[in-house]
Amino acid sequence: MLLGAVADDLTGATDLSLTLSREGMKTVQVVGVPGGPGEFGDAEAVVVALKSRTIKAVDAVSQSIASAERLLDAGARQLVFKYCSTFDSTDEGNIGPVTEALLQLLGDTATIACPAFPTNGRSVYQGHLFVGDRLLSESPMKDHPLTPMRDSDLVRVLQRQTKIGVSLIPLKIVSARASAIASALKERRGIVVVDAVSDADLRAIGEAAATLKLVTGGSGIALGLPENFRRAGLLPPRPAGTGFSAPAGGAVILSGSCSQQTRRQVEVAITGGLRSIKVDPVAIADGSMTADAAVAFVAADPGEKPPLVYSSADPAAVKAAQETLGKAHAGTIVEEFLAEVATRLADKGFSRFIVAGGETSGAVVAALGVRAFEIGPEIDPGVPWVLSRGAERPVAMALKSGNFGSDDFFLKAWEHLQ
């Protein structure tokens, strides 16, 4: 193995795996802290998907360190810590504490932080994160159910999360390309936020990061890393591509994301003729909505088009549910519900799942007992179909981070499986 990565959620891990596989690295994604090198096969890159974005910082640190140790034991020469391109975190963490702990483990003094993902409209300029043409703090992320982002200044956000220094390499230096970035980096200690507004910027940053033991960022930060191994003669030139064959069986869409984009996708799917059932946390809590009812609805008439089970709701409805049930409980109750629906459907022979929402995907994958994936065809930027590896019942899944995918994602994703 050349590159090891720890991602703080499942859809983010998939997004990173896709980037690495597209750049020609044989990539395996493992769900949860790896058991040992046996799980990695002959992978050149291994991406560990944790569910550590919103857990306590101390737990996020211990899971990330345990994963990193397994990756290093298996020969990883460089580590990536992957988080969301919208920098989803709270003032307590977990991006700062995990970065700090990984740096310490690796015995290095500096790393970079760059969540930019220009293809999806995430750019960093003067240390400020933009979502499309809005500052992060004015984007729909300000209303995220678990990690509302109300400050766009990443140096400031990170400095609240960590004791080590945080500084900035601005676009002016990044535009002067890899050697300028590398020499700026040489003088820095701590976490260095790096501006990036294009893939060319990210590739230059990747090249400049060749000597760093730890790189942190969104999936875009990995664009330039495989080429470093190729330059060093460690990675053969290889066209990307996988032999992907989805198992036959029923198909369903489970959506627990409340992001603006997912809500739009739900609307377009329903208008486009998908049968749908809406669930909400209060109804689940008071027993008026049960997993039995949702499963019966899905299985009643599999039909031509896969049915949709969704809890996606607007910020006012999310707030109302959180006030009734408590913030954490409102989230968990939906995650557990959708995970149970998924396992019951798998028992009935369903083998093709689209899951919307990072946390939601984590819950569903864990419930299905899937431990590792291969990366398949890309549906939209950052969202591939994936195929379970070594699972008792093979499943094809598309795990969509809330903000990702075009409006007709739920309708068109299936075309790749024909």
Chain residues binding ligand ADP by CB under 6 A are 144-146, 256-259, 262, 280-281, 311, 313, 317-318, 321-322, 330-331, 334-335, 357-360, 401-402
Q: Annotate 4-61 with DSSP letters as a single string.
A: EEEESSHHHHHHHHHHHHHTT--EEEEESS---GGGGTT-SEEEEE---SSS-HHHHH
Q: Which is nearer to ligand ADP, 192 or 338 (CB)?
A: 338
Shortest Å distance, C-beta 360 to ligand ADP: 4
- Provide the minimum distance between the beta carbon of 280 and ligand ADP in the complex, in angstroms, as a whole number: 5
CA angle centred on 304, ends 298 and 306, rounded to 5°: 40
CB atoms near residue 233 (< 10 Å):
7
Q: How many CB atoms lie within 10 A of CB 166?
A: 21
Using the minimum distance from each CB to ligand ADP, give the nearer residue, 79 or 284: 284
**Shortest Å, Cβ 333 to ligand ADP:** 7
Residue nearest ligand ADP, Cβ-based? 402
Whose Cβ is closer to ligand ADP: residue 24's or residue 402's?
Answer: 402
Q: Which is nearer to ligand ADP, 40 or 373 (CB)?
A: 373
Q: How far apart are CA 30 and CA 37, in angstroms?
A: 11
Strands 308-310 and 190-194: unpaired
User: Shortest distance, CB of residue 321 to ligand ADP, whole angstroms?
Assistant: 4
**Terminal alpha carbon distance of the chain:** 33
CA atoms within 13 A on the CB side of 71: 35
Answer yes or no: are the C-beta atoms of 246 and 396 closer than 8 Å: yes
298 vs 333 by CB, closer to ligand ADP: 333
Q: What is the dihedral of CA 287, 288, 291, 294, to 10 degrees?
A: 180
Handedness of CA 50, 55, 59, 61 (dihedral sign): positive
Q: Which is nearer to ligand ADP, 42 or 91 (CB)?
A: 91
> For residues 78 and 85, which CB has a smaller minimum distance to ligand ADP in the complex?
85
| Shortest Cβ 256–ligand ADP spacing (Å) | 4
Name 264's Cβ contacts closer than 8 Å, sequence gap at least 6.
407
Please identify, using beta-carbon distances, which residue of 212 and 330 lies nearer to ligand ADP.
330
Overall residue count recorded for the chain in this entry: 418
Q: Report in angstroms how near the CB of residue 357 gets to ligand ADP at its nearest.
A: 2
**Beta carbons within 8 Å of 263's beta carbon, 6+ residues apart:** 312, 313, 314
| Of 78 and 94, CB closest to ligand ADP | 94
C-alpha angle with apex 190: 188 to 196, nearest 5 degrees?
A: 70
| Least distance from ligand ADP to the Cβ atom of residue 295, Å | 18
Distance in Å, CB of 127 to ligand ADP, minimum: 23
Token pair for residue 121?
A: 């409209």
Q: Closest distance between ligand ADP and the C-beta of residue 166, in Å?
A: 25
